[in-house]
Amino acid sequence: MVEDISNNDFTELVKIIQQRYGYDFTDYAPASLKRRFIRFTGYAKINSLFELKHRLLNENDFFQEMVQYITVNVTEMFRDPSFYKALREQVLPRLASYPIIKIWHAGCATGEEVYSMAILLEEAGLLDRCRIYATDMNAANLRKAEAGVIALKNMKEYTYNYMQSGGIHDFSNYYTVRYDNAIIQPALRRNIIFFQHNLVTDQVFNEFQLICCRNVFIYFNRTLQDRVVKLFYDSLTSLGYLALGIKESLLYNEQRHKFEAVSIANKIFRRKV
Protein backbone atom coordinates (compact mmCIF):
# COMPACT_ATOMS: atom_id res chain seq x y z
CA MET A 1 0.00 0.00 0.00
CA VAL A 2 1.11 3.55 -0.77
CA GLU A 3 0.97 5.73 2.34
CA ASP A 4 0.76 9.14 0.78
CA ILE A 5 0.36 10.77 -2.63
CA SER A 6 1.91 14.17 -3.25
CA ASN A 7 -0.08 16.77 -5.18
CA ASN A 8 2.23 16.37 -8.16
CA ASP A 9 1.83 12.61 -8.30
CA PHE A 10 -1.90 13.02 -7.87
CA THR A 11 -2.13 15.40 -10.82
CA GLU A 12 -0.05 13.03 -12.90
CA LEU A 13 -2.27 10.05 -12.08
CA VAL A 14 -5.37 12.01 -13.03
CA LYS A 15 -3.71 12.98 -16.29
CA ILE A 16 -2.75 9.40 -17.13
CA ILE A 17 -6.32 8.23 -16.56
CA GLN A 18 -7.71 11.04 -18.66
CA GLN A 19 -5.38 10.59 -21.59
CA ARG A 20 -5.36 6.81 -21.62
CA TYR A 21 -9.00 6.07 -20.75
CA GLY A 22 -11.02 9.24 -21.27
CA TYR A 23 -12.33 9.46 -17.70
CA ASP A 24 -11.76 13.01 -16.50
CA PHE A 25 -11.21 13.35 -12.75
CA THR A 26 -9.42 16.70 -13.04
CA ASP A 27 -12.12 18.70 -11.31
CA TYR A 28 -13.04 16.20 -8.65
CA ALA A 29 -12.74 17.29 -5.02
CA PRO A 30 -9.17 16.26 -4.23
CA ALA A 31 -9.34 15.11 -0.58
CA SER A 32 -11.79 12.33 -1.21
CA LEU A 33 -10.35 11.16 -4.53
CA LYS A 34 -6.84 11.08 -3.15
CA ARG A 35 -8.00 8.95 -0.27
CA ARG A 36 -9.65 6.51 -2.65
CA PHE A 37 -6.51 6.26 -4.78
CA ILE A 38 -4.57 5.40 -1.64
CA ARG A 39 -7.19 2.90 -0.53
CA PHE A 40 -7.06 1.26 -3.95
CA THR A 41 -3.31 0.73 -3.66
CA GLY A 42 -4.03 -1.18 -0.46
CA TYR A 43 -6.68 -3.28 -2.14
CA ALA A 44 -4.59 -4.00 -5.25
CA LYS A 45 -1.45 -4.58 -3.18
CA ILE A 46 0.51 -1.87 -4.92
CA ASN A 47 3.59 -0.66 -3.11
CA SER A 48 4.79 2.28 -5.11
CA LEU A 49 3.39 5.04 -7.25
CA PHE A 50 5.68 3.92 -10.03
CA GLU A 51 3.97 0.53 -10.03
CA LEU A 52 0.56 2.16 -10.02
CA LYS A 53 1.39 4.38 -12.99
CA HIS A 54 3.08 1.55 -14.84
CA ARG A 55 0.08 -0.74 -14.53
CA LEU A 56 -2.33 2.05 -15.41
CA LEU A 57 -0.43 2.73 -18.59
CA ASN A 58 -0.13 -0.89 -19.60
CA GLU A 59 -3.12 -2.85 -18.33
CA ASN A 60 -6.58 -2.06 -19.51
CA ASP A 61 -8.33 -4.46 -17.12
CA PHE A 62 -6.44 -2.96 -14.24
CA PHE A 63 -8.02 0.42 -14.86
CA GLN A 64 -11.49 -1.08 -15.12
CA GLU A 65 -10.96 -2.56 -11.69
CA MET A 66 -9.64 0.73 -10.40
CA VAL A 67 -12.50 2.84 -11.68
CA GLN A 68 -14.90 0.51 -9.92
CA TYR A 69 -12.98 1.09 -6.73
CA ILE A 70 -12.34 4.82 -6.86
CA THR A 71 -15.86 5.88 -7.76
CA VAL A 72 -18.32 5.91 -4.91
CA ASN A 73 -21.19 3.54 -5.54
CA VAL A 74 -22.90 3.65 -2.18
CA THR A 75 -26.62 4.37 -2.06
CA GLU A 76 -29.73 3.60 -0.04
CA MET A 77 -33.45 3.35 -0.68
CA PHE A 78 -35.35 6.36 0.64
CA ARG A 79 -32.19 7.93 1.96
CA ASP A 80 -33.20 11.12 3.85
CA PRO A 81 -36.89 10.27 4.26
CA SER A 82 -37.79 13.95 4.63
CA PHE A 83 -36.61 14.53 1.06
CA TYR A 84 -38.99 11.89 -0.30
CA LYS A 85 -41.78 13.33 1.79
CA ALA A 86 -41.17 16.73 0.22
CA LEU A 87 -41.15 15.15 -3.23
CA ARG A 88 -44.47 13.48 -2.52
CA GLU A 89 -46.10 16.60 -1.15
CA GLN A 90 -44.56 19.45 -3.08
CA VAL A 91 -43.27 18.15 -6.39
CA LEU A 92 -45.34 15.21 -7.61
CA PRO A 93 -48.67 17.10 -7.53
CA ARG A 94 -47.12 19.67 -9.89
CA LEU A 95 -45.61 17.06 -12.17
CA ALA A 96 -49.04 15.43 -12.45
CA SER A 97 -50.12 18.21 -14.79
CA TYR A 98 -47.77 17.06 -17.57
CA PRO A 99 -49.00 14.48 -20.09
CA ILE A 100 -45.56 12.86 -20.18
CA ILE A 101 -43.23 13.28 -17.24
CA LYS A 102 -39.55 12.95 -17.93
CA ILE A 103 -37.20 12.40 -15.03
CA TRP A 104 -33.43 12.14 -15.06
CA HIS A 105 -31.58 10.35 -12.27
CA ALA A 106 -28.00 11.46 -12.81
CA GLY A 107 -25.38 9.38 -11.05
CA CYS A 108 -27.83 6.67 -10.05
CA ALA A 109 -25.16 4.20 -8.80
CA THR A 110 -26.81 0.82 -8.21
CA GLY A 111 -30.33 2.18 -8.59
CA GLU A 112 -31.74 2.22 -5.04
CA GLU A 113 -32.90 5.83 -5.33
CA VAL A 114 -34.36 5.24 -8.78
CA TYR A 115 -36.56 2.47 -7.41
CA SER A 116 -37.52 4.65 -4.47
CA MET A 117 -38.68 7.25 -6.96
CA ALA A 118 -40.55 4.63 -8.99
CA ILE A 119 -42.41 3.59 -5.85
CA LEU A 120 -43.42 7.20 -5.14
CA LEU A 121 -44.62 7.64 -8.71
CA GLU A 122 -46.55 4.37 -8.63
CA GLU A 123 -48.28 5.43 -5.42
CA ALA A 124 -49.15 8.79 -6.94
CA GLY A 125 -50.57 7.02 -9.98
CA LEU A 126 -47.99 8.66 -12.25
CA LEU A 127 -45.58 5.90 -13.16
CA ASP A 128 -47.37 5.02 -16.39
CA ARG A 129 -46.90 8.55 -17.65
CA CYS A 130 -43.23 8.71 -16.67
CA ARG A 131 -39.99 8.06 -18.46
CA ILE A 132 -37.17 7.73 -15.98
CA TYR A 133 -33.69 8.05 -17.45
CA ALA A 134 -31.23 6.59 -14.95
CA THR A 135 -27.60 7.24 -15.79
CA ASP A 136 -24.21 6.59 -14.28
CA MET A 137 -20.66 6.75 -15.58
CA ASN A 138 -19.96 3.27 -14.32
CA ALA A 139 -21.24 0.41 -16.48
CA ALA A 140 -20.99 -2.18 -13.73
CA ASN A 141 -23.29 -0.05 -11.58
CA LEU A 142 -25.85 0.11 -14.34
CA ARG A 143 -25.91 -3.65 -14.79
CA LYS A 144 -26.54 -4.01 -11.08
CA ALA A 145 -29.19 -1.30 -11.10
CA GLU A 146 -30.97 -2.87 -14.00
CA ALA A 147 -31.13 -6.22 -12.24
CA GLY A 148 -32.95 -4.62 -9.30
CA VAL A 149 -31.48 -7.00 -6.77
CA ILE A 150 -30.90 -5.64 -3.29
CA ALA A 151 -29.36 -7.39 -0.27
CA LEU A 152 -32.18 -8.51 1.98
CA LYS A 153 -30.32 -7.44 5.11
CA ASN A 154 -30.81 -3.80 4.12
CA MET A 155 -34.55 -4.06 3.69
CA LYS A 156 -35.41 -3.53 7.33
CA GLU A 157 -33.74 -0.15 7.28
CA TYR A 158 -35.26 0.74 3.90
CA THR A 159 -38.72 -0.19 5.15
CA TYR A 160 -38.22 2.14 8.08
CA ASN A 161 -37.05 4.91 5.73
CA TYR A 162 -40.05 4.31 3.51
CA MET A 163 -42.47 4.70 6.40
CA GLN A 164 -40.68 7.85 7.58
CA SER A 165 -41.11 9.28 4.10
CA GLY A 166 -44.88 9.04 4.45
CA GLY A 167 -45.34 5.65 2.79
CA ILE A 168 -48.53 3.97 3.87
CA HIS A 169 -48.46 0.75 1.89
CA ASP A 170 -46.90 -2.56 2.75
CA PHE A 171 -43.31 -2.08 1.61
CA SER A 172 -42.79 -5.80 1.13
CA ASN A 173 -45.27 -5.70 -1.75
CA TYR A 174 -42.60 -3.98 -3.82
CA TYR A 175 -40.18 -6.89 -3.84
CA THR A 176 -39.96 -10.63 -3.71
CA VAL A 177 -37.43 -12.44 -1.61
CA ARG A 178 -35.08 -15.00 -2.98
CA TYR A 179 -32.41 -16.42 -0.67
CA ASP A 180 -30.54 -13.41 0.71
CA ASN A 181 -31.85 -10.94 -1.80
CA ALA A 182 -34.84 -8.75 -2.39
CA ILE A 183 -35.82 -8.48 -6.03
CA ILE A 184 -37.66 -5.33 -7.02
CA GLN A 185 -41.02 -6.01 -8.70
CA PRO A 186 -40.44 -5.96 -12.46
CA ALA A 187 -43.55 -3.79 -12.84
CA LEU A 188 -41.75 -0.94 -11.09
CA ARG A 189 -39.05 -1.06 -13.75
CA ARG A 190 -41.43 -0.68 -16.65
CA ASN A 191 -40.59 2.91 -17.47
CA ILE A 192 -36.98 3.11 -16.41
CA ILE A 193 -34.16 3.28 -18.94
CA PHE A 194 -30.64 2.71 -17.68
CA PHE A 195 -27.67 3.92 -19.68
CA GLN A 196 -24.16 5.25 -19.38
CA HIS A 197 -23.64 8.99 -19.18
CA ASN A 198 -20.68 10.84 -17.70
CA LEU A 199 -21.61 14.23 -16.26
CA VAL A 200 -18.07 15.47 -16.78
CA THR A 201 -17.70 14.67 -20.44
CA ASP A 202 -21.18 14.10 -21.88
CA GLN A 203 -23.85 16.56 -22.90
CA VAL A 204 -27.55 17.37 -22.77
CA PHE A 205 -29.62 14.50 -24.22
CA ASN A 206 -33.24 15.34 -23.46
CA GLU A 207 -35.51 17.77 -21.65
CA PHE A 208 -36.80 16.97 -18.17
CA GLN A 209 -39.35 18.10 -15.65
CA LEU A 210 -37.28 16.74 -12.77
CA ILE A 211 -33.59 16.00 -12.38
CA CYS A 212 -32.37 14.12 -9.32
CA CYS A 213 -28.67 14.24 -8.69
CA ARG A 214 -28.13 13.47 -5.07
CA ASN A 215 -24.73 13.12 -3.46
CA VAL A 216 -22.81 13.35 -6.69
CA PHE A 217 -21.73 17.00 -6.43
CA ILE A 218 -19.89 16.33 -3.21
CA TYR A 219 -17.19 14.62 -5.28
CA PHE A 220 -16.78 17.61 -7.60
CA ASN A 221 -14.92 20.84 -7.04
CA ARG A 222 -16.70 24.15 -7.56
CA THR A 223 -15.58 24.56 -11.15
CA LEU A 224 -17.10 21.24 -12.11
CA GLN A 225 -20.23 21.88 -10.03
CA ASP A 226 -20.75 25.11 -11.96
CA ARG A 227 -20.42 23.27 -15.23
CA VAL A 228 -22.80 20.47 -14.30
CA VAL A 229 -25.44 22.83 -12.92
CA LYS A 230 -25.28 24.59 -16.28
CA LEU A 231 -25.81 21.22 -17.96
CA PHE A 232 -28.81 20.61 -15.72
CA TYR A 233 -30.19 24.07 -16.35
CA ASP A 234 -30.03 23.40 -20.08
CA SER A 235 -31.69 20.01 -19.57
CA LEU A 236 -34.66 21.31 -17.57
CA THR A 237 -37.92 22.66 -18.91
CA SER A 238 -38.70 26.07 -17.53
CA LEU A 239 -40.02 25.59 -13.97
CA GLY A 240 -38.45 22.12 -13.99
CA TYR A 241 -37.19 20.75 -10.67
CA LEU A 242 -33.65 19.99 -9.57
CA ALA A 243 -33.04 17.86 -6.47
CA LEU A 244 -29.61 17.67 -4.83
CA GLY A 245 -28.30 15.83 -1.77
CA ILE A 246 -29.40 17.19 1.57
CA LYS A 247 -25.98 18.68 2.36
CA GLU A 248 -25.28 19.92 -1.14
CA SER A 249 -25.73 23.55 -1.90
CA LEU A 250 -26.30 25.91 -4.78
CA LEU A 251 -25.07 28.68 -2.48
CA TYR A 252 -21.56 28.57 -3.90
CA ASN A 253 -22.67 28.04 -7.49
CA GLU A 254 -22.51 30.73 -10.14
CA GLN A 255 -25.87 29.62 -11.59
CA ARG A 256 -27.69 30.01 -8.27
CA HIS A 257 -29.70 33.02 -9.43
CA LYS A 258 -31.30 30.97 -12.15
CA PHE A 259 -33.02 28.72 -9.63
CA GLU A 260 -35.49 29.30 -6.84
CA ALA A 261 -35.73 27.12 -3.75
CA VAL A 262 -38.77 24.90 -3.34
CA SER A 263 -37.55 23.26 -0.16
CA ILE A 264 -34.31 24.64 1.26
CA ALA A 265 -34.01 21.92 3.89
CA ASN A 266 -34.43 19.17 1.33
CA LYS A 267 -32.46 20.90 -1.42
CA ILE A 268 -35.20 20.94 -4.02
CA PHE A 269 -34.87 23.79 -6.51
CA ARG A 270 -36.80 24.97 -9.49
CA ARG A 271 -35.52 26.44 -12.71
CA LYS A 272 -36.77 29.98 -13.20
CA VAL A 273 -38.69 30.61 -16.39
Task: State in angstroms the smallest separation of the CB of 21 from another protein.
Answer: 21
Amino acid letter, 137:
M
Report the residue number, 23 or 219, with the smaller CB distance to another protein: 219
Q: Which spans of this chain sit near another protein (rule: CB under 8 A)? A: 4, 29-32, 34-36, 72, 74, 76, 79-82, 157, 160-161, 164, 215, 217-219, 222, 225, 245, 247-249, 251-252
Task: State in angstroms the smallest separation of the CB of 88 from another protein.
Answer: 17
Q: Which residues contact 57 (CB under 8 A, 6 or more apart)?
A: 16, 20
Q: Cα–Cα distance between 20 and 13 in angstroms, integer?
A: 11
Contact 77, 103 (CB under 8 A): no
Q: Is 19 exposed, middle or buried (0-12, 13-18, 19+ CB in 10 A)?
A: exposed
Task: State in angstroms the smallest separation of the CB of 224 from another protein.
Answer: 11
Report the residue number, 30 or 166, with the smaller CB distance to another protein: 30
Report the residue number, 100 or 251, with the smaller CB distance to another protein: 251
Where b means 16+ CB within 10 Å and e means fewer, 160-185 reads ebbeebbbeeebeebbeeeeebbebb
Neighbours of 153 (CB within 10 A): 10
Task: State in angstroms the smallest separation of the CB of 82 from another protein.
Answer: 8
Report the residue number, 74 or 273, with the smaller CB distance to another protein: 74
Amino acid letter, 244:
L
Task: State in angstroms the smallest separation of the CB of 73 from another protein.
Answer: 9
Report the residue number, 183 or 200, with the smaller CB distance to another protein: 200
